[in-house]
A and B are shown apart, each in its own frame.
Chain A
Amino acid sequence: MSKVILHADGLNKSFGAVTAAANINVKVEEGSVIGLIGTNGAGKTTFVNMITGYLKPDTGKVIFAGRDITQLEPREITKLGVCRSFQIPQLYNSMTALENLEVSYGIVSLMEHHGSLFTKMHAKIPSYGKDIRQLAEESLEKFGLTQYRDKTARVLPGGIRKLLDIAMAMAVRPKILLLDEPTSGVSAEEKFDIMDMVMKAVRDGNTTVLFVEHDMDIVNRHAERVLAFYAGQIIADESPELALRDPQVIKYIIGETHAARLQEAN
């Protein structure tokens, strides 16, 4: 039985008349892979935003590795080991793919050197054992981005932007990685390859992964556990096989036809 690394305790969040989160209670075990599903506006991204500090819940707590991180800034939460990728890839558009990663590892370097004014690019980052350039190049390779090394981020195609976004999030070697719709905006042919690549690259260090996904095939393929959201509540918390057969999930999220097809495939 792995230990609980993340505990969302009674989270509530409303925006005026809209309830984005209603008494969310979730315990996440270290090393698990969890898929968050639900229609648009069900509260998945709000959940991710509250975990990562972008939003503060009205009531409730977020506990990471035994520590209450509810009121911390996103920056501080990242330093503790919780990192996220974005639904709309957040890149440094005027820089190349390599430079995007160099900045990311550069930030890690600055943190490890305690913000010293004289941190150098070619100095090794102590706990990583390599220098910034090396680490950046390795990331590119791991995520299959080497051919885009010197291309400006602005001109990269959608799926590649997604990969780069996730590669950057991985630079801090987080204990928990939250992926916000990793395959949205990616063409149907590429979806599986991209997600496969992401999961392979990410699962190296036994990272706990939570990913928001609309594509049930992807959820089926990669998740060990599914959290289904509807109107700010979690209506199902079980394995993908059970979740996809759950009447509530079928009613509010997947729909009869699609459910039938998925069950056939299984």
Chain B
Amino acid sequence: MIDQIMMVLVDGINYSAWLFLAAVGLTLIYGVMKIVNVAHGSFYALGAYVAASVMGAWVAYDLPPALSYVALFVSALVAGFIVGPLVERLILRYQYEKDEVVILLITYALFLVLEDVLKLIWGVDPYFIIEPYAYLGNFEIAGMSYPNYYLLMLGLAIAVGIVLTFVLKKTNFGRLLVSVIHDREISAAMGIDVSKIFVLTFGVGCALAGIAGAFTAPTTSVTPGMGVEVIVLSFAVVVTGGLGSLPGVALAAIIMGIVRAFCIHYIPQLELFVIFSVMALVLAFRPRGLFSLAEARKI
């Protein structure tokens, strides 16, 4: 019995770490810019593909495996930080004043475009970069063997969470971000360069998505269309935690990861359904998610 619970817990926490990494960029962008970046999934996929290429070269040039993780991280960061701001400056920046529906459609259109751009650059065949995953070996809990990669993902998730919290709470830039999160107009009126903050935030958000993709790549195959499931799941996690809330997305990821692991242990087909059920349940009691920013009275 304990073995079963341990199995569910380990699988659950691993999935939670992944959910957190995948979703945190989305909630950050929403919190600051108040837009849901439907193209989030594409940036995740971008990170995965870049990782695939970099690892391909890494292995080909017989470079030290221990440093490959750094390579994964840096390449994803760079990819997200180049493409993200590019997209923001070229197209998104002119849409902020528009109707919510219009912005939604535009990020959706961007998603469609980026999906095919990825196909054009990397083709339609799947990539496998198992090396960083296999290299680390395994560890044992309760008689079951798990890859040490799980620990890496967990560590990465925790590190990202800590760094973001630190930046938001303790740095000047963080304070500017919090100001913009609460009220864009007042922030601009007080002299904050909202435009610069937007492009930086978008870059960071996309980079985070890319990092999630890059570090997931070694655990699965990199194929076209991997972005769709990510945007759907990330959205569920972000909404459950409360749009724009960092602790929210962390808590939601933990809950969903463990509940999902528990459910698919017995009925594997219910995966997506379980995640959305958790979301629906939370929203039924707290319509704005677990943690939500206070909103001023409208009328």
- In the assembled complex, the CB of B32 is this many whole angstroms from the nearest CB of chain A, namely 26
Q: Is A192 an interface residue (CB 8 A)?
A: no
What residues of B have a CB within 8 angstroms of the CB of A86 in the complex?
299
User: For the complex, what is the distance from the CA of A88 to the CA of B296, rounded to whole Å?
Assistant: 14
Produce 1/0 per residue, A81-108, CB < 8 A to B: 0000011101000000000000000000
- In the assembled complex, the CB of B191 is this many whole angstroms from the nearest CB of chain A, namely 27
What residues of B have a CB within 8 angstroms of the CB of A148 in the complex?
none
**B172-216 interface (Cβ within 8 A of A):** none
User: For the complex, what is the distance from the CA of A89 to the CA of B299, rounded to whole Å?
Assistant: 9
- With CB as the reference atom, state the residue of chain B lying closest to A48: B299
User: For the complex, what is the distance from the CA of A86 to the CA of B299, rounded to whole Å?
Assistant: 7
- With CB as the reference atom, state the residue of chain A lying closest to B299: A86
- In the assembled complex, the CB of B158 is this many whole angstroms from the nearest CB of chain A, namely 33
Q: Is A54 an interface residue (CB 8 A)?
A: yes
- In the assembled complex, the CB of B8 is this many whole angstroms from the nearest CB of chain A, namely 40
**B258-299 interface (Cβ within 8 A of A):** 299
- With CB as the reference atom, state the residue of chain B lying closest to A16: B294
**B65-102 interface (Cβ within 8 A of A):** none
What residues of A have a CB within 8 angstroms of the CB of B299 in the complex?
54, 86-88, 90
Contact residues of B: prevailing secondary structure: loop
User: For the complex, what is the distance from the CA of A90 to the CA of B298, rounded to whole Å?
Assistant: 10
- With CB as the reference atom, state the residue of chain B lying closest to A180: B299
- In the assembled complex, the CB of B292 is this many whole angstroms from the nearest CB of chain A, namely 15
- In the assembled complex, the CB of A183 is this many whole angstroms from the nearest CB of chain B, namely 17
- In the assembled complex, the CB of A82 is this many whole angstroms from the nearest CB of chain B, namely 16
User: For the complex, what is the distance from the CA of A138 to the CA of B162, rounded to whole Å?
Assistant: 64
User: For the complex, what is the distance from the CA of A67 to the CA of B4, rounded to whole Å?
Assistant: 57
What residues of B have a CB within 8 angstroms of the CB of A87 in the complex?
299
- In the assembled complex, the CB of B183 is this many whole angstroms from the nearest CB of chain A, namely 17
User: For the complex, what is the distance from the CA of A90 to the CA of B299, rounded to whole Å?
Assistant: 8
**A51-87 interface (Cβ within 8 A of B):** 54, 86-87
User: For the complex, what is the distance from the CA of A140 to the CA of B299, rounded to whole Å?
Assistant: 24
User: For the complex, what is the distance from the CA of A87 to the CA of B297, rounded to whole Å?
Assistant: 12
- In the assembled complex, the CB of B100 is this many whole angstroms from the nearest CB of chain A, namely 14
User: For the complex, what is the distance from the CA of A201 to the CA of B5, rounded to whole Å?
Assistant: 71
What residues of B have a CB within 8 angstroms of the CB of A88 in the complex?
299
- In the assembled complex, the CB of A249 is this many whole angstroms from the nearest CB of chain B, namely 26
- In the assembled complex, the CB of A17 is this many whole angstroms from the nearest CB of chain B, namely 14
- In the assembled complex, the CB of A214 is this many whole angstroms from the nearest CB of chain B, namely 18
- In the assembled complex, the CB of A16 is this many whole angstroms from the nearest CB of chain B, namely 10
- In the assembled complex, the CB of A154 is this many whole angstroms from the nearest CB of chain B, namely 13
- In the assembled complex, the CB of A149 is this many whole angstroms from the nearest CB of chain B, namely 26
- With CB as the reference atom, state the residue of chain A lying closest to B298: A88
User: For the complex, what is the distance from the CA of A240 to the CA of B44, rounded to whole Å?
Assistant: 67
- In the assembled complex, the CB of A164 is this many whole angstroms from the nearest CB of chain B, namely 16
- In the assembled complex, the CB of A52 is this many whole angstroms from the nearest CB of chain B, namely 10
What residues of B have a CB within 8 angstroms of the CB of A90 in the complex?
299
**A234-264 interface (Cβ within 8 A of B):** none
User: For the complex, what is the distance from the CA of A88 to the CA of B299, rounded to whole Å?
Assistant: 7
- In the assembled complex, the CB of B264 is this many whole angstroms from the nearest CB of chain A, namely 40
What residues of B have a CB within 8 angstroms of the CB of A54 in the complex?
299
**B214-229 interface (Cβ within 8 A of A):** none
- In the assembled complex, the CB of A250 is this many whole angstroms from the nearest CB of chain B, namely 29
- In the assembled complex, the CB of A77 is this many whole angstroms from the nearest CB of chain B, namely 15
- In the assembled complex, the CB of B208 is this many whole angstroms from the nearest CB of chain A, namely 34
User: For the complex, what is the distance from the CA of A100 to the CA of B299, rounded to whole Å?
Assistant: 18
- In the assembled complex, the CB of A188 is this many whole angstroms from the nearest CB of chain B, namely 25
User: For the complex, what is the distance from the CA of A54 to the CA of B297, rounded to whole Å?
Assistant: 11
- In the assembled complex, the CB of A165 is this many whole angstroms from the nearest CB of chain B, namely 11
- In the assembled complex, the CB of A40 is this many whole angstroms from the nearest CB of chain B, namely 13
- In the assembled complex, the CB of B262 is this many whole angstroms from the nearest CB of chain A, namely 37
User: For the complex, what is the distance from the CA of A86 to the CA of B297, rounded to whole Å?
Assistant: 13
- With CB as the reference atom, state the residue of chain B lying closest to A46: B297
- In the assembled complex, the CB of A224 is this many whole angstroms from the nearest CB of chain B, namely 27
- In the assembled complex, the CB of B97 is this many whole angstroms from the nearest CB of chain A, namely 14
User: For the complex, what is the distance from the CA of A14 to the CA of B299, rounded to whole Å?
Assistant: 18
- In the assembled complex, the CB of B45 is this many whole angstroms from the nearest CB of chain A, namely 38
- With CB as the reference atom, state the residue of chain B lying closest to A54: B299
- In the assembled complex, the CB of A95 is this many whole angstroms from the nearest CB of chain B, namely 15
User: For the complex, what is the distance from the CA of A253 to the CA of B166, rounded to whole Å?
Assistant: 47
User: For the complex, what is the distance from the CA of A169 to the CA of B162, rounded to whole Å?
Assistant: 52
User: For the complex, what is the distance from the CA of A25 to the CA of B299, rounded to whole Å?
Assistant: 24
User: For the complex, what is the distance from the CA of A87 to the CA of B299, rounded to whole Å?
Assistant: 7
User: For the complex, what is the distance from the CA of A158 to the CA of B299, rounded to whole Å?
Assistant: 16
- With CB as the reference atom, state the residue of chain B lying closest to A90: B299
**A146-195 interface (Cβ within 8 A of B):** none
- In the assembled complex, the CB of B185 is this many whole angstroms from the nearest CB of chain A, namely 16
- In the assembled complex, the CB of A75 is this many whole angstroms from the nearest CB of chain B, namely 15
User: For the complex, what is the distance from the CA of A54 to the CA of B299, rounded to whole Å?
Assistant: 9
Q: Name 5 A/B residue pairs within 8 A (Cβ), A-sorted.
A: A54-B299, A86-B299, A87-B299, A88-B299, A90-B299
Which 4 A-B pairs rank lowest in CB-CB distance, beginning with the nearest? A86-B299, A90-B299, A88-B299, A87-B299
Interface residues of A (CB under 8 A from B): 54, 86-88, 90
Interface residues of B (CB under 8 A from A): 299
